[in-house]
Amino acid sequence: MTARRWSALPVALLAGLCLWLAIRPAWGQSLVADLSSHLIAITTGFTGTDVVLFGAVDGDGDVAVVVQGPEGEVTVRRKDRVAGIWVNTEDVVFLRVPAYYMVAVTSPLDGVVPPPVLLRHEIGLDYVRLLPERAKLPPEMLAEFRAALIRNKQRAGLYATETGTVSFLGQRLFRTRIHFPANVATGTYTASVFLIRNGDVVSAQTTPLLVSKIGFSANVYEFAQRQSVFYAVLGVMLAVTAGWLAGIVFRKP
């Protein structure tokens, strides 16, 4: 990581981190982090965006970053061939599933951090708490449907397929880049940063991030939510009108 890339960070924020490094004994705080933007605005031409998370620590240790949210119910269905037709035969409803999830670390944590610690802070896809609605499910069935849920999210680009990298500039400042795809859901997200030493989390900080529709697309979305019947009728009328105009334009003489 070069100093030139770091120059893109807001000067005031970077200066604040340097000041924190100088006065940290008075604060007694070992980790501070922030985002380059706390709002992702989705407009009509939104194709995805990147947000930079950066911060500083007061000494040695590994840094892990987990970004996730918003939560909701997700139903995973399994299809089987019955009488030559593919039909849904079984389904599992998962509660409080994050619509988006990514993790980035300075170095691999497997074998360094005990699984209970990773599970407590949900660091890594293997440790995300995806709880089924039905409490008593066979372990094999739960593992199969859980893996299918993660696969579907990864296919949609909403769960990272690989662990990201947190890069250090020297021994104190760090940064990582978070990518949000075009189909990211609106809502409140959290960016959690963990400082890990001797196999345990010694400091943590969580920063909110809002993804919101603005402009014309936001107005259309709000109208569709509040006036769903009128929105459906309007959609049908526009489709019929478009078909009628196309028939006139392309009608053979």
CA distances from 101 to 82, 179, 219 (A): 35, 11, 28
The domain defined by 3-213 carries CATH number 2.60.40.2550: yes
Q: Collapse the DSSP code of 78 into the 3-class scheme (helix H, G, I; strand E, B; otherwise coil) and give the result.
A: strand
Looking at per-residue confidence, does 43 or 238 come out higher?
A: 43
The tens digit of pLDDT for each residue in 129-183 reads 999 988 788 889 999 999 999 999 999 999 999 999 999 988 889 999 999 999 9
Both tokens assigned to 66: 């987990």
Q: What is the pTM of this model?
A: 0.74
pLDDT digits (tens, 9 = 90+) for 12-32: 455 555 544 444 443 445 899
Question: Residue 34 and residue 31: Cα distance in Å, rounded?
Answer: 11
Average pLDDT in the chain: 81
Domains of the chain, residue spans: 3-213, 216-253
Give pLDDT, residue 232.
59
Is there a contact between 181 and 7 (Cβ–Cβ < 8 Å)?
no
113, 172 Cβ separation under 8 angstroms: no
pLDDT in tens, 72-117: 999 998 877 666 666 667 889 999 999 999 999 999 998 889 999 9
Residue 5 has pLDDT above 50, yes or no: no
Q: What is the pLDDT of residue 125?
A: 94
Across 210-233, average pLDDT: 59
Give CA–CA dist 87/103, Å, rounded. Answer: 35
